[in-house]
A and B are shown apart, each in its own frame.
Chain A
């Protein structure tokens, strides 16, 4: 393939790559619509895709406002989770005794169902942004810590020997080898963490909020406005997908040397 044609060809490949997913999605929507109409399912129980679309359009303004609030919670919470997750991994690897002491506690903490902590965080931090950010942080830091740890530790022992053979200190090895080596792993951890962050934000709003998509879902379900519940769910999913792909694009820019992860196509 020549350089000139490759750009257009890549786009073509990308679009045709999306086709199977798109077709299946449309097929499910059509089936859904047909089933609702043939069996006359009540809109209170399960709205048809067309009902959801109408609700989306009718509540566009309110949904947009709620989206901004939830997205802000997700972003700030995720940023905290990333800082905490990365810092913990660095400390565990750099200071082995500290790592030996801390790591089992982190694993223990991870087994606590954090969703159950939401009401407690509301009690401690009030109704606003703070309890959501704390909840997102405790839910999302773990995959980041874990993947970062794997990345930092998976440098070949012989490479460490090589560094030591020229008198490199542990800090040199950390900064110049371990951390860049861990970047692809970190990115994988962040992709998991961002989806956890969206869940954390919605749960946080369920536990107590006066705005946001989670709050809207809860409010709409008390009003039996099931179409709006689904409309808000669609928006929540979109927020998650957008954030996920932002990380994936960042990944391509930050670590172009890393082998591309392709979940579907095998070599």
Chain B
């Protein structure tokens, strides 16, 4: 713990200077029409397989507006089986919309989305996708156990209640809530509630875990604990994880690859491969490559916050 904090302080001031120096030309590059530069550093991610999620030329318009301005446009993505991928970008860049499209909740206006060889809607029907939102969304009248079993029971009425509960209990233990099975949400802390909502997603036994700013409402220390929990879950289950986040730290610590998104229309500006080896933990912060990636990412993120170009 101490070692990590010291490591961050050492590089901290230097890092900020580098970002400031780099931001000006970077912004100019964006304006001169080279926005989708693919910046990759380091080697390919380990332990990951063929594409689990592919998006080709995906565009999504605001609901109910035909031929209106696109929320996201020209999204091309390939997310490998068993990898952790982050989407990061300014508010309104359509990160959540893209996540919803992967979950089959929002139909794309254009392009093709493919989840493990099927459409997102089909993937949802087959419970290939588990969702976690910023709000834990637990039902206040159900215990942690019943909450964790709830979605499985809704999605498959043929599963006996006992079996659903057993699976839920197993996942609650996995996220560290083994002692809180019979507690109501009002008796749990914010972090524990979010753990329960992760257990609920895992109980579906999905191949893909989609997380939309899952730790946005938590304090800094709890956030960090939750990051380690995600790494732990990934180490144990090897699930494909797509994470929407505002935190550069979180994106670098957790991801094989980070996609930086820009605004108007929402699009992927660049994709950065994180060169850190797994397993990752609190020591990863001390790795100089962590700082390097973080600086690069911050740089690209500042670009993506730049003034939108006027639509012609």
Contact = CB atoms under 8 A, between A and B. Distances in A.
Interface stretch (B21-29, B51-59, B129-137, B228-236): B129-137
A158 B135 contact: yes
Interface string A153-166: 00010110111111
A95 interface: no
Contacts of A156: 135, 137
A33 to B, nearest CB: 48
A201 B43 CA distance: 80
A172 interface: yes
A166 B133 contact: no
Contact of B137 (A162, A180, A255, A258): A162
Interface band, chain A: 20 to 34
Interface string B127-151: 1010101110101110000000011
Residue with the highest number of chain B CB atoms closer than 10 Å, among A158, A177, A181? A158
B204 interface: yes
A176 interface: yes
B84 interface: no
Given A172-B154, A259-B186, A165 B129 contact: yes
Contact of B124 (A158, A166, A180): A166
B105 A161 contact: yes
Given A158-B133, A257-B184, A259-B186, A165 B103 contact: yes
B139 A165 contact: no
A189 to B, nearest CB: 18
Interface string B146-171: 00001110110000000000000000
A102 interface: no
A164 B105 contact: yes
A90 to B, nearest CB: 19
Interface string A238-267: 000000000000000001011100000000
A61 interface: no
Contacts of B141: 180, 255, 257-258
Contacts of A165: 103-105, 124, 129, 131
B298 interface: no
B140 A258 contact: yes
Nearest to B125: A167
Contact of A166 (B134, B139, B140, B204): B204
Contact of B154 (A158, A166, A255): A166
Contacts of B103: 161, 165
Contacts of B150: 176
A172 B152 CA distance: 13
A220 B131 CA distance: 67
A168 interface: yes
Contacts of B140: 257-258
B244 to A, nearest CB: 12
A208 to B, nearest CB: 45
B100 interface: yes
Nearest to A183: B141
Contacts of A161: 100, 103, 105, 131, 133
A168 B155 contact: yes
Interface of B: 100, 103-105, 124-125, 127, 129, 131, 133-135, 137, 139-141, 150-152, 154-155, 184, 186, 204, 212
Given A158-B133, A162-B133, A164-B105, 10 more contacts: A156-B135, A158-B137, A161-B133, A164-B124, A166-B151, A167-B155, A168-B155, A172-B154, A177-B139, A257-B140
Interface of A: 156, 158-159, 161-168, 172, 176-177, 180-181, 255, 257-259
16 contacts: A158-B135, A158-B137, A161-B103, A161-B105, A161-B133, A162-B131, A162-B133, A165-B105, A165-B131, A166-B124, A166-B127, A166-B151, A166-B155, A167-B124, A167-B155, A259-B186
